[in-house]
């Protein structure tokens, strides 16, 4: 049976020692959110994830969701009860606006919770996760009446939310959507059309589901400039918030999927359903990105969460499974064979997983902390800089962490050997569940194009400078530190090549857009590795200081330094290969005619 223990010590190290999370309490609205409170919230969050959600992960996968003839959907056994426990703890509104019943905690705390939820039960986590996207869109672009009607119910978890974007003939290219919205002449619109791949589109855990639907008004211009966003509830709420008549929408079917079986991924059919415009006509794309950006950071945490639980299970198996003797002599003479963790190739997979996970955790938390600064700071310069960094890092986190979620899950299967291919050990589920995260909320190829095509040149390279400047400052501050040389020098080399790659891709891309497209995935991967190297250098510096002062857990800090050494020598060199690939240009990628494939 699989295992999971929330990595609270590592989280505390990043939050308290590396990022100094206490500084968030200086921001207006976060005055109470000091280290002690955040730690208490993490402790309670770990309990519900480990004790309530994790035990349902495997059974939920095996049972899946059931659609009934009337279009209703039943979630797996135990999910409904677990959801009630979840909302009673206030977890659906942990970082939401107190005006609508939220706890008003930093977004960073929600990010920490997202990792633990996704490790314990990714399918379950998608139900409240989708609600967060709906909350963000209504909170930013809804009318005061819409906010008052929908947000308290979404924040409390009584109602859930969805995002209805994709249609059978269009995914990323939303300019092709056909769902239409006809004016009812009473302030509402009749929404007609079909949407596919709608996560949590129909289920039995809440009394009402608030669908946010992209559709076209009759006079809409062609393409993405003609998209509007509508709020379309399953049940029409009355003015007092109680439920009225059933709206004209239904779950047509549940998709048969590779993974995330316990989440109801629906085909949703709208047949003149009553909806209300969110934001301005034809400006739905802007509101959609409010949902998408929140969702992309959430999906990045899905990748990290799956990676963490898969690694934990690979590690537990490696310490327990006996096979052969160590290449340099017996390590456990009291056993008939040594545990497989003594073997170099098993250690390669485990250390690769560990170093990437801990680097990604630090990078995710740093980005989320900047998101809080962008939302709460009263210093406009600081606020803008933080917002720029979040915009830059969002596609990198989404793409890299979901890529690594699959890769690390694959490592866990491989460490298990034949047992990894068997359902009862649990790790094969992590591999299946992880795969979707590379696709939805914008495929990872789209994230790479976003980074190169939009973020790189935005505001004359201002977004890039928000990352380049602190990295350069760190290198200059520590380049003369002999104890930091093994971390600073690899970082400096990777950073130099990233700058070179940035200039090359920008120059070539201006002359030929195919050059930017061909380089985009390698550039994103190179950027991510450099960012992780920066975070590992920072963590190594803190660990050295802790060891020198003699405070804390010596073994913990020693392990940090050794893991940082492994990352710099064994993982970061991939950036060199990515550099060579992107510098090769687009010619060999585009030369083959379609009929020659």
- Catalytic residues, by residue number, are 441
Sign of CA dihedral 87, 88, 93, 95: negative
Query: What are the tokens at 460?
Result: 């004359």
- Strand 249-254, strand 243-246: pairing: unpaired
Start-to-end CA distance of the chain, whole Å, equals 44
Residue 532: name the closest of 579, 567, 576 by CA: 567
Residues 123 and 260 sit within 8 Å (Cβ to Cβ): yes
DSSP line for 412-473: HHHHHGGGGGSGGGSHHHHHHHHHHHTTSSS-HHHHHHHIIIIITTGGGGHHHHHHHHHHHH
Local structure of residue 406 (DSSP, 8 states): H
User: What three-state secondary structure class fits 162?
Assistant: strand
- Strand 235-237, strand 180-183: pairing: unpaired
Residues 405 and 259 sit within 8 Å (Cβ to Cβ): no
* Residues linked to residue 267 through DSSP beta bridges, in sequence order: 253
> Which backbone phi and psi does 166 adopt, to 5 degrees?
-75, 140
> Which backbone phi and psi does 383 adopt, to 5 degrees?
-60, -45
CA distances from 124 to 58, 84, 90, 154, 375 (A): 11, 12, 16, 16, 28
Which H or E element spans position 268?
A: strand 265-278
Residue 399: name the closest of 437, 365, 444 by CA: 444
* Residues linked to residue 73 through DSSP beta bridges, in sequence order: 67
* Residues linked to residue 183 through DSSP beta bridges, in sequence order: 189
Residues 370 and 382 sit within 8 Å (Cβ to Cβ): no
Which residues make Cβ contacts (< 8 Å) with residue 401, sequence separation at least 6?
A: 300, 301, 303, 304, 307, 360, 364
Which residues make Cβ contacts (< 8 Å) with residue 331, sequence separation at least 6?
A: 325, 338, 342
Query: What are the tokens at 207?
Result: 């009394």
Residues 560 and 539 sit within 8 Å (Cβ to Cβ): yes
CA dist., res. 359 & res. 18, Å (int): 12
> Which backbone phi and psi does 33 adopt, to 5 degrees?
-85, 60
């Amino acid at each position: 049976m699989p295992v999971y223990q929330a990595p609270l010590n590592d989280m505390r190290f990043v939050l308290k020692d590396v990022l100094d999370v206490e500084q968030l309490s200086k921001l207006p609205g976060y005055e109470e959110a000091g280290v002690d409170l955040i730690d208490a919230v993490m402790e309670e969050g770990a309990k519900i994830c480990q004790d309530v959600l994790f035990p349902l992960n495997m059974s939920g996968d095996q049972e899946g969701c059931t659609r009934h003839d009337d279009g209703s959907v039943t979630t797996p056994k135990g999910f409904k009860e677990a959801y009630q426990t979840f909302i009673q703890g206030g977890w659906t509104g942990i970082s939401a606006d107190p005006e609508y019943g939220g706890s008003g905690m930093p977004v960073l705390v929600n990010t920490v919770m997202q990792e633990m939820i996704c490790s314990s039960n990714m399918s379950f986590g998608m139900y409240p996760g989708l609600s967060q996207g709906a909350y963000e869109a209504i909170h930013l672009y809804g009318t005061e009446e819409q906010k008052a009607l929908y947000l308290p119910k979404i924040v409390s978890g009584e109602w859930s939310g969805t995002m209805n974007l994709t249609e059978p003939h269009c995914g990323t290219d939303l300019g092709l959507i056909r769902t239409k919205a006809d004016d009812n002449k009473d302030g509402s619109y009749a929404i007609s059309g079909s949407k596919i791949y709608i996560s949590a589109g129909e289920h039995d855990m809440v009394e009402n589901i608030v669908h946010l639907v992209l559709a076209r008004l009759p006079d809409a211009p062609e393409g993405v400039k003609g998209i509007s966003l509508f709020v379309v509830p399953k049940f029409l709420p009355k003015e007092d918030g109680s439920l009225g008549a059933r709206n004209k929408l239904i779950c047509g079917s549940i998709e048969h999927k590779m993974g995330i079986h316990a989440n109801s991924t629906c085909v949703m059919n709208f047949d003149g359903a009553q909806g209300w415009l969110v934001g301005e006509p034809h400006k739905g794309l802007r509101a959609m990105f409010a949902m998408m950006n929140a969702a992309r950071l959430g999906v990045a945490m899905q990748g990290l969460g799956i990676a963490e639980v898969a690694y934990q299970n690979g590690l537990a198996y490696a310490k327990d499974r006996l096979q052969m003797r160590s290449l340099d002599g017996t390590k456990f003479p009291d056993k008939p064979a040594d545990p497989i963790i003594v073997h170099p190739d098993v250690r390669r997979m485990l250390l690769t997983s560990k170093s990437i996970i801990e680097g990604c955790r630090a990078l995710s938390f740093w980005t989320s902390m900047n998101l809080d600064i962008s939302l709460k700071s009263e210093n406009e310069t600081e606020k803008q800089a933080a917002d720029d960094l979040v915009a830059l890092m969002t596609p990198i986190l989404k793409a890299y962490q979901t890529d690594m979620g699959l890769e690390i899950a694959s490592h866990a299967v491989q460490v298990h050997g034949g047992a990894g291919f068997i359902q009862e050990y649990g790790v094969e589920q992590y591999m299946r569940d992880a795969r979707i995260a590379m696709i939805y909320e914008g495929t990872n190829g789209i994230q790479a194009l976003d980074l190169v095509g939009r973020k790189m040149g935005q505001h004359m390279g201002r977004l890039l400078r928000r990352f380049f400047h602190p990295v350069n400052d760190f290198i200059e501050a520590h380049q003369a530190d002999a104890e930091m040389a093994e971390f600073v020098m690899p970082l400096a080399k990777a950073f130099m090549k990233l700058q070179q790659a940035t200039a090359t891709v920008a120059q070539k891309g201006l002359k030929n857009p195919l050059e930017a497209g061909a380089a985009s995935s390698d550039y994103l991967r190179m950027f991510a590795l450099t960012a992780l190297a920066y975070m590992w250098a920072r963590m190594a510096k803190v660990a050295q200081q802790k060891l020198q002062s003699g405070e804390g857990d010596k073994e913990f800090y020693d392990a940090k330094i050794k893991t940082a050494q492994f990352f710099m020598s064994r993982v970061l060199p991939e950036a060199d290969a990515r550099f060579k690939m992107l510098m090769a240009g687009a010619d060999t990628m585009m030369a083959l005619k379609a009929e020659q494939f």
